[in-house]
Amino acid sequence: MTEPANRILETERASDQETGGRIGPQQKNARIKEVLIVDDEEPLLLSIDDGLRIYKRYFTLLTATNGMEAVKLMKTKSSIDLVITDLRMPKMDGFELLTYIKRNFPHTPTILMTAYGTPKIEMITKTMGLFSYLEKPLDINVIADNIFAALDIKHQ
């Protein structure tokens, strides 16, 4: 397990022991962040959702199976704080979605994940101002660390 993800688990365990699992006063008024994950592989979405469930006090996950679904969600839910998207998807691919986000939600951080990484794609993503670039297969702790960093979530 990576260092930041491990620290979070230890903090959660200590907090749960101290408060009996209740949310502490410092967290009562904090808005839970929303993370949208977009990928056409539904089993991967379910796996990511399951793996990140332990962080539900910090953020919630929304999922979409293509860029068009993601756009609809972003139009109806104004509170999406981070988008993690696959590159190759039907209907609207990751680059089209990233372009849409940069035009319409320029302050929303984005992370690209792909199984088809090349130096050219990595260079293009850097010029697009992405927060991060992840290559599949994905490690759930790396995803969690990137989410915490992108959302600038501080934990004890």
Domain holding 86: CATH number? 3.40.50.2300
By the 8 A CB rule, do 82 and 110 touch? Answer: yes
Q: Is residue 19 part of a domain?
A: no
The H or E element spanning position 85 is: strand 80-86
* Residue 121, token pair as written in the block: 């794609």
Residue 137 has pLDDT above 80, yes or no: yes
The predicted-structure confidence for 87-107, as pLDDT tens digits, reads as follows 999 999 999 999 999 999 999
**Domain membership of residue 70 as a residue range:** 32-151
Residue 16 has pLDDT above 50, yes or no: no
User: What's residue 29's pLDDT?
Assistant: 54
Q: Is residue 53 part of a domain?
A: yes
Q: Is residue 24 part of a domain?
A: no
The closest alpha carbon to 9, from 45, 17, 63, belongs to 17
Q: Could you please report the per-residue DSSP string of 110-130? A: EEEEESS--HHHHHHHHHTT-
Q: Is residue 132 part of a domain?
A: yes
Q: pTM for the whole thing?
A: 0.79
User: What's residue 119's pLDDT?
Assistant: 86
Q: Is residue 2 part of a domain?
A: no
The structural domain count of the chain equals 1
Q: Is residue 52 part of a domain?
A: yes
SS3 19: helix
By the 8 A CB rule, do 9 and 36 touch? Answer: no
